Amino acid sequence: MSTNPPESAAIAETRLLHKMHRAATALLADAAQRDTAPPEALAELRDFLVAALRHHHESEDDVLWPRLIAADPVAGAGLTGLGAEHEALDEALDALAVAPVREGADRKALAAAAATVRDLVHQHLEHEEPVLFPALAAHMPDEAWAEFSRVVIASAPPVGAHLNIGFFEEVGTPAELEAVTANLPQAVLPLVPAMREQALATLSSLRATHDVRTVTA
């Protein structure tokens, strides 16, 4: 029998969010290479990612990391050092945001920008998690994390919000999804089934592989 203590809510929910970011950036980078991917769905996922990733790292820079650094300046120095990666991600998101997606557009710029964002996000999370998770375990009790989560969710951009539900269901367990949705505003909860169906339609269309033609450089 394992004697390890249960994972804190802060680590569990952050790990789930990171899995979602990995999956979403990987899907966009893959779908952007295929001429058969519907432009509307590509734009939907692209716009969601740009807004969600900006909001996520701004919440870290402005709220979460200052709190952790104040609690433990020595450990927090590792988080401060990751700021340059957020700046690089911002530049990559700027390029992704303006890459053409419309019907008939050359998708080389979109494919390149999506691949850059995917690579930066995956690399950044590999660097961040070994520093962030111990800091969360030491300095972010469940009550404080619940309050932080509510603030972040309340300030989250509405762009493609249904895709949050779709990706969380794909990468998380039922218990993890329940923990995340518990922090949603009460008015949103009745909308979750419809959001789930909308996300499924978008993600399914982006994963369709029939008559695949790959964008070439």
Beta partners for residue 91, in sequence order: none
Average pLDDT in the 98-106 region?
85
Percent pLDDT > 70 in the chain is: 93
In which band, very low, low, confident or very high, does the pLDDT at 102 lie, cut at 50, 70 and 90? Answer: confident
Q: Is 109 helix (H, G, I), strand (E, B) or coil?
A: helix
Alpha-carbon gap, residue 205 to 116, rounded angstroms: 23
Residues near 154 by Cβ (< 8 Å), separated by ≥ 6? 185
Q: What is the pTM of this model?
A: 0.89
One-letter amino acid for residue 11 of the chain: I
In which band, very low, low, confident or very high, does the pLDDT at 216 lie, cut at 50, 70 and 90? Answer: very low
Is pLDDT above 70 for 215?
A: no
In which band, very low, low, confident or very high, does the pLDDT at 213 lie, cut at 50, 70 and 90? Answer: very low
**pLDDT for res 210:** 46
pLDDT tens figures, 45-72: 999 999 999 999 999 999 999 999 999 8
Report in angstroms the alpha-carbon separations of 22 from 26, 97, 182, 198: 6, 18, 23, 21
Alpha-carbon gap, residue 35 to 58, rounded angstroms: 33
**Tokens describing residue 215:** 């964008």
Domain boundaries, the chain: 9-207
Select the more confidently predicted residue: 41 or 176.
Answer: 41
**pLDDT for res 183:** 76
Does an H or E element contain 65, and which? helix 65-71
